[in-house]
């Protein structure tokens, strides 16, 4: 019996991979932003006397605006990744497949009723619906 992959399982795996990549990207951006802020603070404290006060103030304001924008994008990405993860959880809860005898394929020792599609054992001559075993 071949193991066929369900297209919905492939979509679910893609959703999970995308949400994991989004989380990883948000963490990387957060770490890089923190490192850049620390470097800039050290640079500003150490070499602030090189710049004119007005120029230094403009740089600090632009850095603050850029930091707020980066933080907003990170929050958006985290919310999006969280929604994708919850979507995957909902999909798993609502798409439960069963492997009952009525839904599976018949083996060589079994036969499938042509009218109700139920799998019956080979020694049973008549299905529960009344259909006789085909030859």
Return the domain boundaries, the chain: 7-94, 98-135
Helix (H) or strand (E) holding 112: strand 110-112
- Tokens 């009344």 appear where? 130
Non-local CB neighbours of 88 within 8 Å, separated by 6+ positions: 12, 15, 16, 19
| CB 118, CB 109: distance < 8 Å | no
Query: What pLDDT does residue 9 have?
Result: 64
The pTM of the whole model exceeds 0.85: no
Residues counted in the chain: 135
Query: What pLDDT does residue 80 have?
Result: 78
Query: What pLDDT does residue 1 have?
Result: 45
Query: What pLDDT does residue 119 have?
Result: 86
Name the residue among 91, 122, 90 with its Cα closest to residue 8.
Answer: 91
Residues of the chain with pLDDT under 50: 1-3, 98, 101
Name the residue among 40, 29, 31, 42 with its Cα closest to residue 64.
Answer: 40
Classified as helix, coil or strand, 110 is strand
Query: What pLDDT does residue 132 have?
Result: 92
Query: What pLDDT does residue 78 have?
Result: 76
For residue 38, what are the CA distances in angstroms to 31, 32, 33, 65, 110? 11, 10, 9, 16, 71
């Amino acid at each position: 019996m071949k193991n066929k992959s369900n297209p919905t399982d492939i979509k679910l795996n893609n959703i999970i991979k995308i949400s994991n990549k989004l989380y990883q990207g948000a963490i990387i951006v957060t770490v890089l932003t923190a490192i850049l802020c620390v470097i800039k603070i050290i640079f500003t404290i150490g070499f602030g006397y090189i710049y004119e006060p007005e120029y230094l103030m403009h740089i600090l304001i632009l850095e603050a605006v850029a930091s707020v924008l980066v933080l907003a994008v990170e929050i958006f990405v985290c919310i999006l990744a969280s929604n994708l993860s919850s979507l995957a959880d909902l999909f798993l809860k609502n798409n439960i497949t069963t492997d009952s005898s009525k839904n599976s394929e018949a083996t060589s020792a079994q036969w499938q009723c042509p009218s109700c599609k139920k799998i019956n054992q080979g020694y049973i001559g008549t299905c529960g619906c009344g259909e006789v075993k085909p030859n």
